[in-house]
Amino acid sequence: MKGTHKRGGGGRRGEGRARIETGPSADGRVTVTLAKGKSKPFWIGHPWVFSGAIARVAGEVGQGAPCVVEDERKNPLGMGYYSPEAQIAVRLWWHRRTTDLPFEPPDFPATVRERIGDAVRLREALGLPSQRTDVYRLINAEGDLLPGLIVDRLGPVASVQIGSRQMLAERDLIVRAVREALGSERVAVTVSETASRLEQIAVMHELEPELQKGERALVEVKEDGLRYRVDLGAMQKTGFYADQRDNRARFAGYCGGKSVLDAYCHYGGFGLQAARAGAASVIQVDTSNPALEGAREAARLNGLEQAIEALNADVIVYLKEQQAAGRSWERIVIDPPKFAQGRGHIEDALQKYARLNTLAMATLAPGGLMLTCSCSRHVSEEEFGRMLTESGHRLRKSVRVLERWGQPADHPTVSVAPEGRYLKAWLIALG
């Protein structure tokens, strides 16, 4: 089953080209017919169809066109949106599940509103929001059965990231539904860089009420009792990396009385947690001035500025310099940006991870602990582990994996699509 489900039944982008039959279809919708042997994952709920799984496409084809997906026997199995130039050719938002049921797709706008409401209730069941935490993921795309849509709650603001052309078309509906569900007056809407590139969506960044260009719009949020100020005018992705929330708290438990390096710190969450837990010293490193400004402000907000130093530096260069100077840390966390944007970038990404991890390991004090992370979905756990083994070998060290952490419960995935579980955070020691 694992091989059957991976990346939409094994049909990857570039594995063959679907035959396009132009002309109107009977009901005005595009029909996407799957290749023989490719339909099983979609009958049981897989949300993505890659071009290699498609035999032919009929209808008036355009970016983000509504489509019916059918198996090789012409049995309709679901509804989605077809984007011929996108990495994911079809994103399915509804599955028929069995031919024993009539093919009666629900209304899309009503389905969006219903699933946003379901997402809110799920987070409430998880205890979110709470008095200590009001920044979290409300909608995690396929994990909440809304492919192409990410919504994070940033205190009083909802941050919406559009990841597909079809969700862009329903932008006004989404904004209204999120406002109704959360009671948020302000909704920031952005288009992901990946969607802009692969689905030919113009990049936009809007805030309702409108944010003037260059204006700072600070909103205060809380994570595990720590205060942060997020600048909506300088957001990366949805503005705050809530996927590391649990891991920041876990890692802090090992940092009392220790020297800590927080590399690629962004708003400084790992370092802040470590300092609050009693770390002897914390160095935060990033190249983003807005992120470092946010990290320094968070340190001041939480009364931790005396224990933390935030530096603007390239992490690779900084680690090289510190290794040459003989400096080391007892606790290191490296949480770099996504190195692999697609399957074609995996080898290059693994080389970058290896270089970074080798340098970090070289500055880890004897008996120290290191948390090494990857948010690249295309890099598997097996590949990540092999990279760490090779990085340690360069230093004539064995890498001992103590714990493997991932994304928290507010970042759900569907079991049929394990590739949605992207975050790897491994606690390691050297031997």
Q: Which residues are designated catalytic? A: 375
- How far apart are alpha carbons 216 and 214 in whole angstroms? 7
Across 115-200, the runs of DSSP E, i.e. the strands, are 135-140, 149-154, 157-162, 186-191
Do 257 and 251 form a contact (C-beta atoms < 8 A)?
no
- How far apart are alpha carbons 97 and 414 in whole angstroms? 15
| Residue 359 Cα to chain centre, angstroms | 26
Helix, strand and coil in the chain, % to nearest 5: 35, 30, 40
Do 360 and 263 form a contact (C-beta atoms < 8 A)?
yes
Do 289 and 257 form a contact (C-beta atoms < 8 A)?
no
Beta-carbon contacts of 128 under 8 Å, excluding residues fewer than 6 positions away, are 136, 153, 410
Do 268 and 226 form a contact (C-beta atoms < 8 A)?
no
